[in-house]
Amino acid sequence: MRPIPFVMSCAVLAVSAVALPLVGQDGDNVPATREALGELLFFDTDLSANRTQSCASCHDPAYAFADPRGMASPGDDGVSLGDRNAPTAAYARYSPSFFVDDEGVAHGGQFLDGRAGTLEDQAGGPPLNPLEMGMKDEAAVVARLREDPIYEAAFPAIFGDGVLDDTATAYTAMTQAIAAFERTETFAPFDSKYDRWLRGEAELTDEEELGRLLFFSQQFTNCAECHKLAASQMDPEETFTDYSFHNIGVPTNTALRAQNGVDPAYVDMGLGGGDHLDDPAEAGKFRTPTLRNVAITAPYMHNGVFEDLRTVVLFYNKYNTRSDARQINPETGAPFGPAPVPETLSLEELEIGPALDDRRIDALVAFLETLTDARYEPLLED
């Protein structure tokens, strides 16, 4: 019988403090629910062409379901390297299905450009992406499912007899199971220091409290313009993103391009470059990410261009400062690179508030660290 997936996860074994609970299997290790089946699928490397990569390879549960291995994730073929940083899958269930509102503003979806409308749509993408899991087509994936006696037993029991006999039906069932697992509390525990503070179970330090006040301020920072969803600052399920799309002028990651061979002049159009929304007005825009666990999910931005969280805050601050020194990226010693798509910059949001001094920058970083789920707090000490 197949081993229990969390036991076999090298990432979890390496960071024992973050071992996670199983969502449930029966006595024969055959999943009895969609969630349990999705968990098995999430860790299954057999669903990649060379049997080396699973969902968990790029969404590591030991690192808040992000990828700590570098600026972009390597592919199953051992050669391919993407051009975007893998976003965390934690709290992904809260992103609404992709839609464009009455004012023409796009919201939600999955992937950094929102091209997958739902969690189910997202789950179906990586197995067929040649830069990721590299399977030829849906039929090849379903053939792998049918190789496994546990899947042969679980899929019909959960989805109905004959589910594995039709490729499209079987593939849809697989995505539904993975999405069900991603909707469990395992991915969204809401137990960070910030959450405990909201419940009166913890106290913030003076620096963390200053950072909290600055973060939610409408006068001193622009953070909450895009990284706040609920009307109340005290909402117990704040995900720290409004799921809208913005162009904040993230510079090209030339270091990544040197590794993956993508032309340094290529411009990633984000939302405006997708088949679902081919609109020049949306060029260069990416979905606002959650700030949950942000302190332990480096590198940052859609292309992994920044290594340190403080650099991210300094990057935002460059829009509000007149200091030449504040235009310097501390990681390179050179000025922050130019915006690849300057025409669609969200300057109205970016230029809110005065420039920040070091004390306030450090306070914001300290507050962001309080958004780390309890099981990952030991990583803050590394």
pLDDT on residue 23: 55
* pLDDT (tens digit per residue) in 62-113: 999 999 999 999 999 999 999 999 999 999 999 999 999 999 999 999 999 9
* pLDDT (tens digit per residue) in 277-309: 778 999 999 999 999 999 999 999 999 999 999
What φ, ψ does residue 374 adopt, rounded to 5°? -55, -40
Q: What share of the chain is helix, strand, coil (3-state, %, to 5)?
A: 40, 5, 50
pTM: 0.92
Burial code (b: 16+ CB inside 10 Å, e: under 16) for 110-128 equals bbbbbbbbbbbbbbbebbb
Give 10-residue mean pLDDT values along the chain (382 residues). 37 41 59 98 98 98 97 96 97 96 95 96 97 98 98 98 98 98 98 98 98 93 91 90 97 98 96 82 96 98 98 97 96 98 96 94 98 98 75
The Cα 30–Cα 1 span in angstroms is 9
The Cα 255–Cα 100 span in angstroms is 34
What φ, ψ does residue 373 adopt, rounded to 5°? -55, 150
Q: Which residue stretches of the chain are H helix?
A: 5-8, 10-14, 34-42, 55-58, 119-123, 138-147, 149-159, 167-182, 193-198, 206-216, 223-226, 254-260, 309-317, 347-350, 358-369
Sequence-distant (≥ 6) Cβ neighbours of residue 261 within 8 angstroms: none
The Cα 169–Cα 158 span in angstroms is 13
